[in-house]
Structure 1
């Protein structure tokens, strides 16, 4: 991986004063969607023109985990590892991952600037028009020229829209909630992905002619609406089309938490223990309970025909 990742806290940022100068795109960037990409691409272009390193500064965990009492964890469109892989593919040099904790939340806007921009030798900051920082988000991009005290410059990226509405992580979560993964593709600029390890399942699919790879999804991915999807699996450098059931298998005893299992077309290799990436392309139907195995098999045959046609 090309991108070099630095894990930082409020107390450790000053330890990197000797790092090479950079132009930093700053934001939470959950999804690294097309709006985020506009910010990051501008930072990369600016870094090239200034002959410095390109950097992205993000935060972990999501601020809501720290600021909302009782919230234990968050679910992400792009968990940190996924975000890191995307930024690596974009050719970013540095990834600054700032730990969001109570100490960070209490920093004044000036202290945030001193610690995380000046302290990291950032020569130019690029952020979206709505980026805020410091205690209760009191710092904003309009104040940044004053807070920088001439120590670095800045660029503000205006709102990026799709169909006359702002592209945002909130909007992407909303379309995922509706199963509209095809709309998510338009906003992200790529298919929505979940990664995990193939594990042993109940092997019930084999008995009805539809063996599946049961995937233990890693990280805290945001889970789309349960249902049946046209997907492509990437494993060992190859890609294979298939159909995924994201759900609780109500025809049988059912599960409490949604599981992801994928039937790959024209595929008979052993995937147990393999790391896989599942791309979601379109939802074909909601999950439903069937009166028996024969009704389920008939529906699966219809699903397969529809999905093969989609990929054809």
Structure 2
């Protein structure tokens, strides 16, 4: 797959005839996969190349001036996942105020027709051009009938739409099982191991304190069964996301992410790591004593091991990439 970074205005270059999937694709969840795989099938049927066009940063950051969006996938992870779906070209368009001002006609002419696109695939709620005034139904008009299109209906699970918004809501509720079901793989976040308070080692549970990178959306506070990728190797562990209320007033030190890795010792400060989130064990709580906390951690480790052993039998194909 060739990745093409585009900054508006884009110097036109020649591309082979292609079918293209349009969308932001944050998370590359099952709904997004349906759109991209539909585009690939159309490309194979028409004997054309298959492309995907996505955007960065999120339009909300540019148009609504909201705080930084927390993503379900880093740009690098999104690229990796899309490549795994058999795509020939990935176009990453830098979303700016100038780009957002393109009217539907300008977008179709400059970013579809000029890219040698012959067929467009998008979700039922996709829109393009200034204020989102262009829709798939207006595409024939804006392309002067040069483009055909396929609309992919919403993908549901038990009557609920699989969407990036609903995945974020599930993360905010700590429902890791639902998150992973919607994604079709185990949710991951990236980070770097930094120096913490080193209190864990004094109670027999040393932890890796992880500073998140890539602006990925963390699950809500609580204790989770996780895997941690250290120097290319996945290791089982238990993770606490929270404010350590047993030792600090709430939010005194800010949110921390700490992973106790089973059967592991070694200095990993400064290492880039990846956390895979497998299951929610419990909510964070304040304990009356350190002894009570240690007893609870003992139980958390037992539960985490059971969850991880069960998950090993049902690992998604995505997790082998």
Match of 2:32 among 20, 33, 36: 36
SS in 2 for 1:156: strand
Q: State the Cα distance separating 1:231 from its structure 2 match.
A: 0.6
Contact 1:10 1:115 in 2 (8 A): no
For 1:83-232, list aligned pairs within 5 A.
83-232=78-227
Provide, for residues 157-208 of structure 1, a one-character-per-residue CA deviation record: whole Å limited to 9, x for no partner. 1111110121111111111110001111111111111011222222211111
Point out the more displaced range, 203-212 or 87-96: 87-96
* 2:277 match: 280
| Aligned mate of 2:299, from 298, 302, 306 | 302
2:17 equivalent to 1:21: yes
- Normalising by structure 1, report the TM-score: 0.93
Distance in structure 2 (CA, Å) of the matches to 1:284 and 1:256: 23
Residue 10 of structure 1 aligns with which residue?
8
SS in 2 for 1:127: strand
Partners of 2:57 and 2:94 within 8 A in 1: yes
Matched-pair contact (CA < 8 Å) for 1:105–1:135: yes
- Return closer, same or farther for 1:127/1:302 CA change in 2, 3 Å cut-off: same
Pick the aligned partner of 1:67 from 63, 66, 69.
Answer: 63
* DSSP-derived class of the 1:154 partner: strand
> Number of aligned pairs?
307
- Residue 238 of structure 2 aligns with which residue? 243
Confirm or deny: 8 A CA contact 1:105 1:134 kept in the other structure: yes
Residue 255 of structure 1, CA deviation: 4.5
Looking at structure 1, the residues matched to 164 and 252 of structure 2 have their Cα atoms a distance apart, in angstroms, of 29
Is the contact between residue 237 and residue 261 of structure 2 (CA under 8 Å) also seen in structure 1?
yes
| Counterpart contact for 2:278–2:308, Cα < 8 Å | no
**Is the 1:194–1:277 Cα contact (8 Å) retained in structure 2?**
yes
- TM-superposition CA deviations, 1:252-274 (whole Å, max 9, x none): 23654322111111122433332
2:153, 2:205 → 1: CA distance? Answer: 48
Distance 1:259 1:52 in 2: 48
Q: Structure 1 stretches of 5 or more lacking a match? A: none
TM-superposed CA distance for 1:123, in Å, is 2.2
Q: 1:250 to 1:72 in 2, by over 3 A?
A: same
Contact between 2:278 and 2:307, CA under 8 Å: does it hold in 1?
Answer: no
Is 2:261 the counterpart of 1:264?
yes
Q: d(CA) in 2 for partners of 1:113 and 1:10?
A: 14
Q: Measure, in 2, the Cα distance between the counterparts of 1:203 and 1:66.
A: 40
- With normalisation by structure 2, the TM-score equals 0.91
CA distance in 1, matches of 2:252, 2:92: 35
SS at structure 2 position matched to 1:271: coil
